[in-house]
């Protein structure tokens, strides 16, 4: 009983301490990840030598926030980039702030 109670209390403590930052997406982390994992391939695939153009080209694929999440997740999973869901959320936040600007 005591152990279970202690475990529950420490769980709550962890939640209370950890929750505030982890709910807000980290745009800077998204930017860093984007440079490290995404930019190069997009620059090559677009043939323009600039990995940002893929997001702003006239016939871009992403037209709404759901689609943005889907594409980030697709590139991550398909290409086995091994990003955590938190990283995907940070990337979505960065790409949206920088390029897509969905509300």
> 33: Cβ–Cβ under 8 A, 6 or more apart, which residues?
83, 87, 90, 91, 94
Min dist CB 63 to ligand HEC, Å, is 8
Distances in whole angstroms, Cα of residue 60 to Cα of each of 12, 20, 21, 22, 79:
44, 34, 32, 30, 19
Min dist CB 61 to ligand HEC, Å, is 3
Q: Pick one of 27, 42, 53, 97: the residue that binds ligand HEC (CB under 6 A).
A: 42
Query: According to CB under 6 A, which residues from 13 to 32 bind ligand HEC?
Result: none
Distance CA 89, CA 76 (A): 12
Min dist CB 24 to ligand HEC, Å, is 19
Q: 57's torsion region: left (phi>0), alpha (psi -120 to 50) or beta?
A: beta
Q: Decide: is 55 part of the binding site for ligand HEC (CB under 6 A).
A: yes
Q: Decide: is 37 part of the binding site for ligand HEC (CB under 6 A).
A: yes
Q: Decide: is 62 part of the binding site for ligand HEC (CB under 6 A).
A: yes
Q: Pick one of 27, 43, 53, 71: the residue that binds ligand HEC (CB under 6 A).
A: 71
Task: Give the dihedral sign, CA 96/100/101/103.
Answer: negative
Q: Decide: is 93 part of the binding site for ligand HEC (CB under 6 A).
A: no
């Amino acid at each position: 009983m005591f152990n279970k109670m202690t475990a529950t209390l420490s769980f709550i403590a962890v939640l209370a301490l950890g929750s505030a930052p982890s709910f807000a997406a980290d745009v800077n982390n998204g930017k860093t990840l984007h440079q490290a994992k995404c930019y190069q391939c997009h620059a090559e695939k677009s043939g323009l030598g600039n990995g940002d153009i893929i997001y702003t080209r006239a016939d871009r694929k992403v037209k709404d926030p759901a689609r943005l999440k889907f594409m980030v997740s697709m590139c991550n999973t398909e290409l086995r980039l091994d990003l955590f869901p938190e990283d995907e959320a940070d990337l979505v936040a960065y790409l949206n702030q920088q390029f897509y600007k969905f509300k």
